[in-house]
Amino acid sequence: MPSAPSAPVIMWFRQDLRLHDNPALLTATRLGPVIPIYILDDEHAADQRMGAASRCWLHRSLDALNQQLDGHLQLFRGPADTLLEQLVQHYDCRTVTWNRCYEPWRINRDRIIKEKLQGLGITVHSDNGSLLWEPWQVLKRDQTPYQIFTPFYRHARDSVPVRSPLPRPAEIALAAVTPYSALKLADLELRPNHPWADKVLHHWQPGEAGAQQRWQTFMEEELLGYGEGRDLPAQPHVSRLSPAIHWGEISVHQLWHDAQAIGHEDALAFQRQLAWREFSVTQLFHHPDMDRINLDRRFNLFPWHDDAEKLNRWQQGLTGIPFVDAGMRELWQTGTMHNRVRMVVGSFLVKNLGIHWHHGAAWFWDCLLDADLANNSASWQWIAGCGADAAPYFRIFNPVTQGQKFDPHGDYTRHFVPELAKLPNRYLFCPWQAPKGLLQECGITLGGTYPEPMVDIKVSRQQALDAYAHMRQAT
């Protein structure tokens, strides 16, 4: 007698938009014919719903995944709990698989979904597809999370093995079912009808194939020199994989083990940066309100000077401080910003302009293709001085000397601030110090072709230091 065909298994893709090293997909393919789905769940995300740039990326990434699945990816829009209940009943499924996500709203939602499905007699398999170390694996002896990165990293690296990447399923038997969802990709309305959307993705190839290609190129041509080069925004020594890592188009387990196999100092430096992401996720897991609340509560008393006009000039890259403007324009034009420059523009907003880090984080959230709740919140708290292992309050990046040091030939700054291109390096980062005649020769009018600096760097630095000193005395 032929054995009864096994019931279809729902594989719920989330931040794991790949076939290779995908534990939940591998489990699904072993248990039965697969129904692959994606749910755009803005209802549960509420005020942490994706920003505009992330949506553009997701649009292209879902398209790529759907092609890999021969057009069988079913798309849904709405609250995931209700949709999943309907789906398992409609298809008479016995199993649902997914890889875990770690944003607090997703953790809460997924717990409820799991209980509901189990109540219906459904087995739920959840796996780790996106972290080297789960947030509960690397804790101090007293079972609290590390506040300092280096001991966190040493502990993790030396005592919690990173599992090897899993193979891509030899064959994905897709369930021969009529789609329950009639939604097409365009119906998710992820891509705004704005020329910015095309422009911002111009230099990127979202999806698993693009991520693998980027990684190969980086390993072969750019990784050597990463340790020092990763601080120089004009150099090609960073991987630019952060959006692909965020969406799980490439697995961090693969990155870790490939880097381990290469083994030179630059590869080890790259592993260390991967671990910063793990540190951020661990922080967010243990402080679920980290995107809103200062980890160092003393900062609740800090006297921020929120000013819409100043914020607007910062967002537009019109502060009159060239290295800051270069970074903010890079963000707007390309959907990313080099890490060194993120630190400099962040410090300028929070410390020189005295504007709350929430505003910087919100702008990044909307504009970054790699917007990630854990990394963004942790990094902004770090910049403001109130986060884990934060920059001490007295470390205020000087955007002039940072530019001179990390963009020594001015290539990066000239590219994004072309109106200053003719200025010699000596004045490129501080055009207000250039002799009038030279400015004229270079076709620059401060306050005309390029803005006057919106604050005096030394004066605003001192004001920040005074405010911090006051806060420390008051707490």
Ligand X SMILES: Cc1cc2nc3c(=O)[nH]c(=O)nc-3n(C[C@H](O)[C@H](O)[C@H](O)COP(=O)(O)OP(=O)(O)OC[C@H]3O[C@@H](n4cnc5c(N)ncnc54)[C@H](O)[C@@H]3O)c2cc1C
Question: Distance (Å, rounded) from C-alpha 29 to C-alpha 36?
Answer: 10
* 371 known member of a binding site: yes
7 Rama class: left (phi>0) / alpha (psi -120 to 50) / beta: beta
Closest contact distance (angstroms) between CB of 342 and ligand X is 4
Closest contact distance (angstroms) between CB of 423 and ligand X is 27
Q: Which is nearer to ligand X, 247 or 429 (CB)?
A: 247
**230, 406 in Cβ contact below 8 A?**
no
Question: Distance (Å, rounded) from C-alpha 25 to C-alpha 19?
Answer: 7
Q: Which is nearer to ligand X, 325 or 372 (CB)?
A: 372
Q: Which is nearer to ligand X, 311 or 439 (CB)?
A: 311
344 token code pair: 């400099």
Closest contact distance (angstroms) between CB of 269 and ligand X is 9
257 Rama class: left (phi>0) / alpha (psi -120 to 50) / beta: alpha
Residues of the shown chain interacting with ligand X in the complex, contacts defined by CB under 6 A: 230, 238-242, 245-246, 273-274, 276-277, 280, 339, 342-343, 346, 364, 368, 370-372, 375-376, 379-380, 383
* 361 known member of a binding site: no
CA distance to 135, 147, 232, 257, 278, per residue, from 281 (Å): 7, 12, 26, 20, 5
DSSP 80-121: HHHHHHHHHHHHT-SEEEEE---SHHHHHHHHHHHHHHHHTT
Q: Which is nearer to ligand X, 19 or 275 (CB)?
A: 275
Instruction: Supply angle C-alpha 67, 68, 70, rounded to 5.
Output: 60
**265, 227 in Cβ contact below 8 A?**
yes
Closest contact distance (angstroms) between CB of 332 and ligand X is 15
12 Rama class: left (phi>0) / alpha (psi -120 to 50) / beta: beta
Q: Which is nearer to ligand X, 95 or 379 (CB)?
A: 379
71 token code pair: 């057009």
Question: Distance (Å, rounded) from C-alpha 106 to C-alpha 99?
Answer: 12
Closest contact distance (angstroms) between CB of 270 and ligand X is 6
Closest contact distance (angstroms) between CB of 451 and ligand X is 23
Closest contact distance (angstroms) between CB of 282 and ligand X is 11
* 421 known member of a binding site: no
**374, 107 in Cβ contact below 8 A?**
no
Q: Which is nearer to ligand X, 64 or 343 (CB)?
A: 343
Closest contact distance (angstroms) between CB of 246 and ligand X is 6
Q: Which is nearer to ligand X, 32 or 248 (CB)?
A: 248
Look at strands 95-99 and 74-77 and give their pairing.
unpaired
Q: Which is nearer to ligand X, 16 or 370 (CB)?
A: 370
Closest contact distance (angstroms) between CB of 87 and ligand X is 31
**98, 247 in Cβ contact below 8 A?**
no
**Crossing angle of the two packed helices 373-384 and 339-347, in degrees rounded to 10:** 50
Rg (alpha carbons) of the chain, rounded to whole number: 24
402 token code pair: 């940072």
Closest contact distance (angstroms) between CB of 373 and ligand X is 8
* 370 known member of a binding site: yes
Q: Which is nearer to ligand X, 321 or 368 (CB)?
A: 368
* 63 known member of a binding site: no
Question: Distance (Å, rounded) from C-alpha 43 to C-alpha 55?
Answer: 15
Q: Which is nearer to ligand X, 25 or 371 (CB)?
A: 371
Question: Distance (Å, rounded) from C-alpha 34 to C-alpha 30?
Answer: 9
**Which of 187, 191, 195 shows the shortest CA–CA distance to 332?**
195
- Beta bridge partner(s), residue 96: 10, 124
320 token code pair: 């009159």
Residues at the annotated binding site for FAD? Answer: 226, 270, 370-372
Residues at the annotated binding site? Answer: 226, 270, 370-372
